[in-house]
Amino acid sequence: MALLAGRGVGLEVGTARVPIVPQAITFDLNASDGAAERAGSFYWDLGWRAAAMAVSSHPSTPVEIGSVGGGMGATTADLKGGLGTASMTVAGGETVAALAVVNAIGSVLAAADDPNFLAGGVERGAEFGGLGALAGSTGVAPLRTKLGAPPSTTIACIATDATLTKSEAKRLAIMASAGLARAVNPVFAPMDGDTIFTVATCRAERDDAPSALMSLGAAAADCLTRAIARGVFAAGRPSETYRGPPTWQERFADSNGVDRETP
């Protein structure tokens, strides 16, 4: 809000500018010694840097994933969480993308001791290990949670260049929630704050037919599923003081012949 106000962006109220900024939070202060003590300035600086990059970066600038930004201290039931992204272009030519901060109370794995992600069925290439779906899996993982931990949250943003009304943007977020359910188990639990935002630049024309919005929603769900798995797959230890669960790379990479450099 401070950065946008300084740039003259926001609702004009007398001589002041008041940016309207929706927000949601993840709680990650227990994943690192001293995090709570330094949270005030540390997270404020992270937010400022993220906003500055968002308003100044070229659209083609790669987005870092893993233990960066909002994914730095994120964890799941049995693995280090992280920040992930994924995108695709639908038949009508519009682009849909997802960005997720994965700090889930549940697990992203199809089974407790296997490296396969719940999201394996929608993986493109080897973006999170190339292991695909777990053979014989029903798609429903045994329940594993980090109970006893503070409230947990997976926060996501779905972005598209399609032209959407506010109600259509809400529908896109609703459809995208299926992608969250395909990537994490459980989701929307009593201890969760799982939230999905949708933004549309309206730079691309879209067919008004309901099937066109349906296509965007299906793509949004797939992108969110992939983004969650990518964020966990790419996560590394954010600092020497990190004391959460192991990263996917630490548990599975070497024993499964996975290239640690896979983006």
Count of CB atoms situated within 10 Å of the CB of 23: 9
Task: Evaluate if residue 28 carries a pLDDT over 70.
Answer: yes
- Place 84 in a pLDDT band, splitting at 50, 70 and 90: very high
Instruction: Choose between 39 and 201: higher pLDDT.
Output: 201
In terms of Cα–Cα distance, which of 89, 88, 95, 64 is closest to 231? Answer: 64
Q: Kindly state the DSSP code that residue 23 receives in the 8-state scheme.
A: -
Q: What's the chain's average pLDDT?
A: 87
Beta pairing class for 153-162 and 195-204: parallel
Give the tens place of pLDDT for each residue, 208-255: 788 889 999 999 999 999 999 999 999 999 888 888 899 999 999 876
